Structure 1
């Protein structure tokens, strides 16, 4: 029996002129539908008469069909303008006319807001439209990679809408919260200096107050801060600063005290209670670390980063440490020396003084926990910040005098006891793992990524592996913890060398850390050994 081969259908290449004509036709149709969507949405949102606000089932279906038509027009426009044979000029049209933003604003967001304001009557229709829009965005994510970052954030936004309207099935709500968090995390990996994405992650972290505070703080301390977070963060602080907050708060006692302390520092409210809140947190901290064990590693670096954000005033232009960090690279060392000289007698602002006092008191508790390796992530995140500041003498005027340098030297010498590969950290180069082709960042590396003070700390390819999923980011093997120790030692070494021994010192002969004589206070209490 002979088998006849079938000929492939002939594929004719589309000419540039045909492609241009196609794009023009799609765009003209798109603009017509877009204008109709804007007109309808504006008319419905402007309606003030309750009787006229009612929309029946058929009208909702018509509105959904109209907005879906606009989404399909956009889809066709993107496929045509980003066609493999399209010219560079044709490919640039989508960005030139802000097509992704227009698609989200007029095709999805304005209609979602209309649906949201008509809840609960519009719930069924809102669910239908969210699923349709989500499918379209997922399709664009797969087929139009040129705007991948936009599609990822839109998918996160749609998931958050779906999560927000789920009030009956808590399991579904948790699922959509997780989906939204995954998309925003992916978006922040693509754009680590965009504060808006960390603000979104903060909103999704309400079950973890320490993590939520970290995300809010980070959203204000990256190169592209999200200033609206200054208002949003008060939804975390206001409930815990009011009367009877301790009785009604869902937070664990130590988390409540931590958030209350930061709430006073950030908002300026209830200043008379700051000392009480701070003491309440500090007196519980040591026992909490002991009981938590390895589970304190993650909140440890969250707290360390939150301390750093507070020290720079959460991106406040009036904060001298923040101003110096922002100006780094734009002024010469000579100019910085002059700035330092002129600042020595100046009184730092109250917020900076308070932030430094809190951070140093936390350091004093954490760094006294000898033999407890669970505090090393906190040490690592703190030293990354200090390493950046030592190259800015004007910041050290404020920072250095009260920082517990001696306790840091104890911690570093402690982890040096069983360490022998000294050449790994005694270098000016970042200590990359041996025999590892693909970089494997530490969990706190991901947490610090994008912050203003780590820009020069990590190698340019350190986060190049984009296939690490969120769950894997926070998995720690024994070898990964060894890398963390190497990293902390490297930072200690660099602080000693860049600072020329003015604060921390290192002896390459004995392989021991020490501090400048002025920080060897006779009254300083020696830390006691603690169980791991």
Structure 2
């Protein structure tokens, strides 16, 4: 708001107003009357009674001393909302304004008395000054509004100034009072606000031809209910028109798709946009009618029965967008126009038809991705639309965490971060509803790392390049001779890389851990032993499968994936005093904890898993911990404040095949966490440590590899896995407290 002075008061000017229209506050309206009375009686200014609206030119905005010199008051046009009577009463009792004329200093009396006195006083224009002619108007009271009378009075008023101005009469305003000089009392039901228009809403007015009447309470207008029969007829009519327009859209798109070389002019593109806009409007009307609150359950199910949301997206948006995309760059402007049109329609459906909210969210993400993909000139716009699309896909994945298609879309938007892309691609293949098309899309990420002739961008860190290359070899089966070299490069740079990036590696840690776990599942291939176990509905079924498969070779790909995982564990878990590796440790233990429910699947990794290193890491977390009953309990360790705030890696693991036995059912029910779900706060470190210790106790409870002594509160391993740990140079000091010798 921009504020300009009006006399001794301030009025707020709206930036978008034309002809200098001001919205004057309640304070300003009453103060104007009081000041006008004061100037007229003491300083000789001509008082021009006005109504709630005043019309002048911008040049008439003058400071108070110049207003007095010119002997006139000029104000801007105002438009007011309804003013509560209690606010008017409060103002009339307390408001007093001092005169700003130099040397005066008088206080303007109570505005209630000033306004009432002004209506009884006749002001005669002085000689050699501007004159004002007004028709006589009756004092205002508060019956129902009479707009015709107001218009009639306004048409008879004229104001003469030095230059010709428009004529206007606005009658004086009086606020009604109860016998005890109060605007309103709790027991008085005669005074009630009545509907009106604009600044006249809530008050009544009288002119010379109108009689004073009592105000009666107006009941709420009756609402005419829509019957189900009417809705059925409406839906039938809408659907008939919808099918006709839809058929025309399909016909036109098919005809244009077959003519690849055909060029359309602007008028033809605009006609196609208008045709598809009509189709979208028909679908919108259909959804509003079929999902009306008065609709029967059968009518509500029609949209789902006939797949109306999918049809709208396919025939109303997607087909036309693909046609526009294939005609780029000539169709760029028209494609932008249609994307904005479709995006606004989807946001409208998202707000008005919540029954298909999940579909609208994903459609909004798709439209944002289209808009991002065609932006080549403005990098800022591209980043903005990437963020918008990522927001919608992330929101959709929170509502449908087991749908791999959404993670595939997020992987595309994760460019140019290869580690994050690998995480999303592998996750899209290792959820209950995998997106098999991701097996082709992931090669666009892996191909540059597998092709030795391809020059890698310098902005990618060497440790990330070697890690993605190792997974590329595992996934594609190509360049197998380079696998060991890639692993050695990765683990050789990993420890120093963690030390340099510090807290930034917390996010990279759970990306690496989840990608390695997906590799152990052979990226969701059905013949994998662990994948078969996890996807089984019952443990007994999984055991039968394991017995058959245990006599066969685990496969070269599985052995390589297991080697990559174990080498990563040996580097990361040695950083005992580093809280930045805890997200990685937490993610690995969640995967291991789930395998304890499938003994034969557990047998595929326990021989090479660094159990001794895990026990030492757990003991390092136990040193300052005191609430042993929480980690020894079978109950999931909820935060002590009983406010669930999932950890960032919780959201990253959400929906994966191996987390259904870990998270409580309502763990992700906090809807207030949206875009900040991957934000790390300091308080999460202690909660993460407690969760890791709880998982350690659960794994030790199986008694197969890890042990936990409740009397001395120490973790250990079974004799089979007792080994000496080779300690990294940076962590030798941390290992002294555990009495572990170096090899």
Deviation at 1:346, TM superposition (A): 3.1
Q: Does 1:448 align with 2:588?
A: no
Distance 1:10-1:363 versus aligned 2 partners, 3 A rule: same
- Which residue number in structure 2 is paired with residue 25 of structure 1? 237
Going from structure 1 to structure 2, the CA distance change for 1:3 and 1:473 (only over 3 Å counts) comes to: farther
Q: How does 1:327-346 map to 2 (within 5 A)?
A: 327=536, 329-332=537-540, 336-337=542-543, 339-346=545-552
CA spacing shift, 1:11–1:377, aligned 2, 3 Å: same
Aligned match of 1:513: 715
Query: 84-93 vs 4-13, which deviates more?
Result: 4-13
Q: Which residue of 2 aligns with 1:494?
A: 698
How many angstroms does 1:271 deviate by?
Answer: 0.9
Residue correspondence of structure 1 range 456-467 to structure 2 within 5 A: 456-467=661-672
* Contact in 1 for aligned 2:280/2:312 (Cα 8 Å): yes
What residue is the counterpart of 1:390 in the other structure?
A: 596
Q: What is the alpha-carbon distance in structure 2 between the residues aligned to residue 359 and residue 517 of structure 1?
A: 23
In structure 2, do the counterparts of structure 1 residues 54 and 343 end up closer, same or farther at CA, with 3 Å as the change threshold? closer
The one of 321, 324, 327 aligned to 2:530: 321
| Structure 1 residue 261 displacement after superposition | 0.7
Does the aligned pair in 2 maintain the 1:249–1:256 contact within 8 Å? Answer: no
Greater alpha carbon shift after TM alignment, 353-362 vs 391-400? 391-400
The match for 1:36 is 248
Q: CA deviation at 1:281?
A: 1.0
Alignment of 1:245-284 (within 5 A): 245=454, 247=456, 250-284=459-493
Secondary structure of 2:439's partner? helix
| Residue 111 of structure 1: aligned partner | 320
CA drift at 1:336: 4.9
Say if 1:339 and 1:394, in contact at 8 Å, map to a contact too. Answer: no
Q: What SS does structure 2 have at the residue aligned with 1:453? A: coil
Look up the SS of the partner of 2:715 in the other structure: strand
Whether 2:686 is the aligned partner of 1:482: answer yes
Secondary structure (helix, strand or coil) at the match of 1:514 reads strand
Query: The residue matched to 2:391 in structure 1 has which SS?
Result: helix
Q: In the TM superposition, what is the alpha-carbon distance from 1:469 to its structure 2 partner?
A: 2.0
Give the superposition deviation at 1:526: 4.4
User: Which range moves more in the overlay, 10-19 or 135-144?
Assistant: 10-19
Cα distance per residue 1:364-392 (max 9 Å; x no partner) = 00011121111010000000000000110
User: How many residues in Structure 1 have an aligned counterpart in Structure 2?
Assistant: 521
* SS, match of residue 217 in structure 1: helix
Deviation at 1:424, TM superposition (A): 1.4
Residues 429-452 of structure 1: CA deviation (Å, up to 9, x unaligned)? 11000122x411000000000000
Distance (Å, rounded) in 1 between the aligned partners of 2:573 and 2:443: 31
Gaps of 5+ in 2: 1-140, 145-193, 196-217, 735-743
The CA distance in 2 between the partners of 1:175 and 1:72, in whole Å, is: 28
**Matched-pair contact (CA < 8 Å) for 2:704–2:718:** yes
**Deviation of 1:528 (Å):** 5.9
1:525 aligns with 2:737: no
Instruction: Note the C-alpha offset of 1:206.
Output: 1.0
Q: Tell me which residue corresponds to 1:45.
A: 257
The alpha-carbon deviation at position 475 of structure 1 amounts to 2.3
> Would you say 1:405 and 2:611 are equivalent positions?
yes
Cα distance in 2, alignment partners of residues 529 and 275 from structure 1: 25
C-alpha contact 1:162 1:176 (8 A) present in aligned 2: yes
Q: What are structure 1's unaligned runs of at least 5 residues?
A: none
Residue matched to 2:12: none
- Is it true that 1:432 corresponds to 2:620 in the alignment? no
1:184 corresponds in structure 2 to 393
Does residue 363 of structure 1 match 2:573? no
Q: Secondary structure at the match of 1:2?
A: coil
User: Please, which moves more after superposition, 4-13 or 36-45?
Assistant: 4-13
Alignment of 1:6-155 (within 5 A): 6=195, 10-48=222-260, 50=261, 53-155=262-364
Higher relative contact order (CA 8 A, sep 6+): 1
- Residue 473 of structure 1 is matched in structure 2 by 677
Change (3 A) 1:337 1:133: closer
CA 1:433 to 1:125, structure 2 compared with 1: closer, same or farther past 3 Å? same
Deviation at 1:361, TM superposition (A): 0.2
Structure-2 separation of matches of 1:214 and 1:3: 71
The Cα shift of 1:222 comes to: 0.3
**Which residue of 2 is the match for residue 308 of structure 1?**
517
Aligned-partner Cα distance in 2 for 1:324–1:288: 35
**1:2 and 2:142 aligned:** yes
Give the aligned partner of residue 158 of structure 1.
367
**Structure 1 CA distance for aligned equivalents of residues 251 and 658 of structure 2:** 47
Asked whether the 8 Å contact 2:368–2:388 carries over to 1, the reply is yes
- Alpha carbon RMSD of aligned pairs, Å? 1.6
Alignment of structure 1 residues 405-424 onto 2, 5 Å: 405-424=611-630
Pairwise CA distance, 1:3 = 4.2
- Structure 1 residues 487 and 3 mapped into 2: Cα distance closer, same or farther (>3 Å)? farther
Q: Which moved more, 1:268-277 or 1:79-88?
A: 268-277
1:347-377 CA-partner distances (Å, limit 9, x unpaired):
2111111111000000000011121111010
SS in 1 for 2:646: coil
Q: For residues 240 and 308 of structure 1, what CA distance do their matches in structure 2 show? A: 21
Map of 1:225 onto structure 2: 434
Q: Flag the 1:416–1:71 CA change in 2: closer, same or farther, 3 A.
A: same
Q: CA deviation at 1:337?
A: 5.0
Is contact 1:220-1:227 (8 Å) kept? yes
Asked if the contact 1:368–1:528 (Cα under 8 Å) also holds between the matched residues in 2, the reply is: no
